[in-house]
Amino acid sequence: MAKIKGTIGILTGGGDVPGLNPAIRAITVRAVREGYRVVGIRKGWEGMIRIDRDRPLEEQEYCQVLTTQIVNKVGRTGGTFLHTSRTQPSKVKKNDVPAPLQKTYAQEVNDLTPEVIQNLNHLGIDHLIPIGGDDTLSYAVRLHEEGFPVVGIPKTMDNDVAGTDYCLGFSTCVTRTIELVNQLRTSAGSHERFLVVEVFGRYAGFSALLPAMAGASNRCIIPEHPFDMEHLAELMSEDRRRNPSNYSIVIVSEGAMFADGGMVFEGEEADAYGHKKLGGIGEQVGARLKQLSPKYNNGEQVGIISQKLGYLVRSGQPDAIDSIVPVAYGNMAFNLLLEGKSGRLVCLRDGNYGDVDLAEVTATKKRVNIEKHYNTERLRPDYRNFENKPLFIMSCED
């Protein structure tokens, strides 16, 4: 039996998206072919704080040795078969500290990084490839700073990881949103209503802007520009009158903000990254549109269809782009580790694959450039030229 050259760990963190399993497959197939062992860490960073150092790798609840047979079966599917979590090992609440560690870590918030490093060493993992958004990857930056070899792969349906034009899951999200909004047109048109569609997007409006650019909606509301309801109601009423089927559509990012108020939350409870769960902005926009509609429709009240797309746009199998890009990202991450490089993020910039300093993830914020890409008067995408622009128009350098 050939000697194993080393062990590579893979984990996925944050929200699930199509494209994760193809990336895991790409890394595993290539690594095994090159003589490496691959270990999947279950439940993201949570798995890394729950390793039992009294047990060997093969008996770990939160680990799985990956083979080509295993990953080939799931490589075409959505989600992540390794499962995921929103655990942040450097900020673990007292009640979330694993039972065997509670005597050592008894503060209200605890940094379990020393345990993570010991667990990686116990498992014999030489290199780690975390796949996630800015929260997941921010902890990867911490591990790199501690001296552990890490290469990150950007993933988020919001496409808001700094340093790259493209994050796994974004294309499928846009594709699903366009499809679902177009299906909802039949009801909106049948009842001559305003259709309000809420989509994900906490701080960045890419997942609302791109479908609107593709013609899925008349207007879109994004987090980067607080909006006035009177203005939106006037525009939506104008759109409805111009439409032979007498309806109009607005796509609303979950993180959008009224000009006279902030974000809309479902409750006060926050996750491990400090984020409260967003939700309800679509319902509120719909209710206010209905209330304001007589003012712009000759005294007639216009009915509302309010639909939150939610997990529908991040579920199911990946589209073509989220099947191809993960293959490139996975192989690039493996190549970087072979070259002895750490603290890098694989990326797409200006249509070219490459890699950047992983620290870019935490150094800047990737948001829609309002001046370049959003018409604040018309509350819709602003696109006048496409020359020398990347596939999805907006780059991380905008």
> What's the token pair of residue 67?
């083979």
Give the mean model confidence (pLDDT) for residues 273-281: 66
Q: Say yes or no: 225 and 374 in one domain.
A: yes
Give the mean model confidence (pLDDT) for residues 192-205: 96
Q: Is the pLDDT of residue 384 over 90?
A: no
Q: Is the pLDDT of residue 86 over 70?
A: yes
Q: Name the band, by pLDDT with cuts 50, 70 and 90, for residue 388.
A: confident
Q: Say yes or no: 192 and 275 in one domain.
A: yes
Closest CA to 4 of 39, 41, 32: 32
Q: Say yes or no: 205 and 123 in one domain.
A: no
DSSP 11: E
The secondary element (H helix, E strand) that includes residue 170 is helix 170-191
Cβ burial, residue 280 (10 Å; 0-12/13-18/19+): middle
Domain assignment of residue 213, yes or no: yes
Distance CA 356, CA 395 (A): 14
Q: Say yes or no: 188 and 324 in one domain.
A: no
CB 288 within 8 A of CB 301: no
Q: Say yes or no: 149 and 11 in one domain.
A: yes
Distance CA 100, CA 371 (A): 53
Domain CATH code at residue 36: 3.40.50.450
Cβ burial, residue 74 (10 Å; 0-12/13-18/19+): middle
Q: Is the pLDDT of residue 349 over 90?
A: yes
Look at residue 270 in the predicted model and tell me its pLDDT: 59
Look at residue 3 in the predicted model and tell me its pLDDT: 83
Look at residue 239 in the predicted model and tell me its pLDDT: 98
**What residues make up the domain containing 126?**
7-168+318-363
Ramachandran sector of residue 93 (left: φ over 0; alpha: ψ -120 to 50; beta: rest): beta
Q: Say yes or no: 222 and 264 in one domain.
A: yes
Q: Name the band, by pLDDT with cuts 50, 70 and 90, for residue 135.
A: very high
Look at residue 277 in the predicted model and tell me its pLDDT: 58
Closest CA to 244 of 191, 196, 189: 189
Q: Say yes or no: 37 and 113 in one domain.
A: yes
Domain CATH code at residue 233: 3.40.50.460
Q: What is the model's pTM? A: 0.94
Domain assignment of residue 396, yes or no: no
Give the mean model confidence (pLDDT) for residues 173-189: 98
Look at residue 294 in the predicted model and tell me its pLDDT: 98
β-pair type (352-357, 344-349): antiparallel
Q: List, as one string, the DSSP characters of 333-360.
A: HHHHHHTT--SEEEEEETTEEEEEETTH
Give the mean model confidence (pLDDT) for residues 207-225: 97
Q: Catalytic annotation on 158?
A: yes
The tally of CA atoms less than 13 A away on the side-chain side of residue 348 is 26
> Could you read off the pLDDT of 142-157 as tens digits, one per residue?
999 999 999 999 999 9
Q: Name the band, by pLDDT with cuts 50, 70 and 90, for residue 273.
A: low
Task: Share the mean pLDDT of the chain.
Answer: 94
Looking at the structure of the chain, the number of domains it has is 2
Domain assignment of residue 244, yes or no: yes
Distance CA 215, CA 238 (A): 17
Domain assignment of residue 388, yes or no: no
> Could you read off the pLDDT of 15-72 as tens digits, one per residue?
999 999 999 999 999 999 999 999 999 999 999 999 999 999 999 999 999 999 999 9
> What's the token pair of residue 214?
């593709």
> What's the token pair of residue 284?
């509120």
- Annotated catalytic residue within 134, 135, 158, 355: 158
Q: Say yes or no: 75 and 120 in one domain.
A: yes
Q: Say yes or no: 179 and 302 in one domain.
A: yes
Q: Say yes or no: 235 and 179 in one domain.
A: yes
Domain assignment of residue 111, yes or no: yes
Domain assignment of residue 239, yes or no: yes
Domain assignment of residue 387, yes or no: no
CB neighbourhood size of 388 (10 A): 8
Q: Say yes or no: 162 and 177 in one domain.
A: no
Domain assignment of residue 391, yes or no: no
Q: Say yes or no: 137 and 164 in one domain.
A: yes
> Could you read off the pLDDT of 291-344 as tens digits, one per residue?
999 999 999 999 999 999 999 999 999 999 999 999 999 999 999 999 999 999
CB 377 within 8 A of CB 152: no
Provide the 3-class DSSP secondary structure of residue 372: helix
